[in-house]
Amino acid sequence: MPERRFLIAPSLARLIRKERGVVDRIVEGYFPARADRDHFVSIEPGHSFLVLATSERDGATRDEERTEVPRSQAEALLAVCAGKVGYECTRVRLAADREAMLDRFIAPGVLDLIRVEFERKEQADAFTPPGWFGPEVTRDAAYERGSLARAGIPHREDIPLSNAALEELLDNLENGFGAFQFGALSFGRSDPARGASPEDARMDSVAAGLAEALDMGGSSQQPTDDEPNVIVPLDRAESRGRR
């Protein structure tokens, strides 16, 4: 599927995450690189996958074959991977027919990328990024997840931030997923007074597990095997892989 990727100023990414929340928290482990494909294991809330990904030479088109595997197998595979990434995903609507995904990488370092997927290459080529997008890195292999996992976060200069870019993003957030109705579709922000839903609580549990999995939590306490949807710490996965 064609895709274009862009950097984004951390302050703008923080604003998007505050307004839209997090929809997915994912840990991926990548096997040694090959020129024409990537093999990796993906551990997500409630699911684990073994993935074969192939990319075109331009880096803009990527196809994936995903096979669901038991959690125990995914953990064992994670232990022998060449590199790992952990990231959180936030959706943001750009227009009535277009949506972007903000990826906040937590490991192996901090990085904010925003990506847009398309059905056809012609759509990707015709896409004009909003003014609040940063530099495009679609064809820079260093910003592919496999490269981030194996080589780490590339050195980069600070992304310029203008008042015009901030105003455009604020307009997008207020008019995109804010409280309004378009035809039969109603979009409204959640009401904080209602309290956290069970799904929110579950995702908070996943977030805690992700922090431990990426050695970010600073605590030596390990989650038990019966904790639902908690991403296993990498050191525990590695010990399982050596058995």
pLDDT in tens, 60-113: 667 889 999 999 999 999 999 999 999 999 999 997 789 999 999 999 999 999
pLDDT tens for each residue of 226-238: 444 444 444 444 4
| CA gap 43, 82 in Å, rounded | 16
193 assigned to some structural domain:
no
pLDDT, position 236: 43
Structure tokens at 149: 């996992």
Residue 211 scores a pLDDT above 70: no
192 assigned to some structural domain:
no
183 assigned to some structural domain:
no
For the chain, what is the largest distance between any 2 Cα atoms, rounded to a whole number of angstroms?
A: 58
pLDDT, position 68: 97
Q: Which residue has the higher pLDDT, 63 or 7?
A: 7
220 assigned to some structural domain:
yes
Query: Could you tell me which of 123, 121, 101 has the C-alpha nearest to residue 112?
Result: 101
DSSP letter, residue 136: B
182 assigned to some structural domain:
no
What CATH number corresponds to the domain at position 96? 2.40.320.10
Domain of residue 84, residue span: 3-172+198-238
**C-alpha dihedral sign at 34, 36, 41, 43:** positive
Mean pLDDT of 185-212: 43
When pLDDT is cut at 50, 70 and 90, the band that residue 58 belongs to is: low
179 assigned to some structural domain:
no
188 assigned to some structural domain:
no
Residues 84 and 234: beta-carbon distance below 8 Å: yes
Structure tokens at 173: 């957030």
pLDDT tens for each residue of 122-174: 999 999 999 999 999 999 999 999 999 999 999 988 998 999 999 999 999 98
Q: Which residue has the higher pLDDT, 188 or 21?
A: 21
pTM assigned to the model: 0.71
Q: How many domains does the chain have?
A: 1
159 assigned to some structural domain:
yes
The per-residue pLDDT of the chain, averaged, comes to 78
